[in-house]
Amino acid sequence: MGGPGSGDGGGSRLRVLCAPNAFKGTLTAEAAAAALAAGAGDAGARARAVPMADGGDGTLDTLLAGSPSARVDRHRVCGPLGGRLIARLGWIDPTTAVVELAEASGLRRLRGRLEPLRASSRGGGDLIRQALDGGARRVLVGIGGSACTDGGAGLLAALGVRLLDASGRPVRDGGGALLELDRADLSGLDPRLHRCRIEVAADVASPLLGARGAAAVFGPQKGATGAEVARLEAGLRRLAEVLERDAQVGPGLRDLAGAGAAGGSGYGLAVAGATLLPGASLVAGAVGLDRAIGSSDLVITGEGRLDLQTGAGKAPLEVARRSARLGVTCVAVAGEVVAVPGEFHHVISLAELAGPGEDPRRVPRRLLRRAGAEVVRRALAAG
């Protein structure tokens, strides 16, 4: 889709692709892309906006933005702490659904009530079941931004798996209850999953367990104390051991890149037959990023904070790597710059562009528009 500044079609004008991630807590990827494109247009370029995502918050909107036949349904599903809430289920076309786990099981649904031992992924399973009810033959699942550390146990339960304690009762929802797990029965797993391709956009490459796993790395971000992290880790280990013993789940699933994403929901989805993929790569393919880069002279990407996690496979790095492969210069714009991966031609911090009294977090649209214009001016000056 053409962005601001794409109007007159003059062949001599610089063709600029604006493909940022969301600026977390301030702007969606779509809003950030539009602001950058407006600025590029101000400087005389022909700009196109293609918002990006990597499996985290905003993935649903990003994937739907590029489809002329997209639609959104709303369903009542289980919230992260129980109860019911309304969550969106997206459709790219009549047989391809998009589930964003954070819609049902996200930190943003807690409104400050962090309860890491109780939070569950069950609502994500509810949304996948609704997609199957709607005739989906392919489901894309973005799993970033979750509140849970339950290994996908709640999600599996919503899809028909029975996770039982020693008395034969279903274990309670939440990672804190997984130590009560005695046996697992996968015979009730929804058979429609075998006729549907489930692709998971994982925003991290963490395994399920260990120092780089779901509980150790991300538990504290979800409010877990040191003792709670240890309990969650033990519960995830118990879940894997029981599934491997009772359901012949391959022991290698616990070590898959992305198994630890969303508190281990990547693992639960893999148990259900899903394919785990790097989120930024999956989204890039779905929105036709290579085609857009190939028809551009310059690419602008970015996100709220450039740091070591950016270099671990976040959306801006995916954009930069694809740009390099296609021989197109890629510039990054960020609200805050902590570390700069070498793939970017150069990086602009919004703080550098802010005038006296301007807080980048309060006026991000204005500063991104300014940044888009600045990138184009530098490119034109460099010839």
Do 87 and 217 have their domain in common? yes
Tokens of 77: 């599903």
Residue 133 is part of which domain span?
Answer: 59-280
Do 190 and 240 have their domain in common? yes
Q: What CA–CA distance (Å, rounded) separates 82 from 258?
A: 25
Q: Which pLDDT does position 311 carry in this prediction?
A: 63
Reported pTM: 0.89
Q: Of 222, 248, 280, which residue sits at a domain end? A: 280
Domain CATH for 45: 3.40.50.10350
Q: Which pLDDT does position 2 carry in this prediction?
A: 39
Looking at the structure of the chain, the number of domains it has is 2
8 part of a folded domain? no
Domain CATH for 266: 3.90.1510.10
Quick check: 328 pLDDT over 80?
yes
Do 245 and 113 have their domain in common? yes
Q: How confident is the model at residue 7 (pLDDT cuts 50, 70, 90)?
A: very low
Q: Of 280, 296, 322, which residue sits at a domain end? A: 280
HSE value, Cβ hemisphere, 13 Å, CA-based, for 254: 17
Least confident of 70-74, 211-215, 303-307: 303-307
338 part of a folded domain? yes
Do 245 and 321 have their domain in common? no
6 part of a folded domain? no
Q: What is the pLDDT of residues 157-198, one digit of tens each?
A: 999 999 999 999 999 999 999 999 999 999 999 999 999 999
Do 251 and 295 have their domain in common? no
Q: What is the pLDDT of residues 97-107, one digit of tens each?
A: 999 999 999 99
Q: Of 260, 280, 300, which residue sits at a domain end? A: 280
Percent of the chain with pLDDT over 70: 95
Considering the chain, what is the average pLDDT of its residues? 92
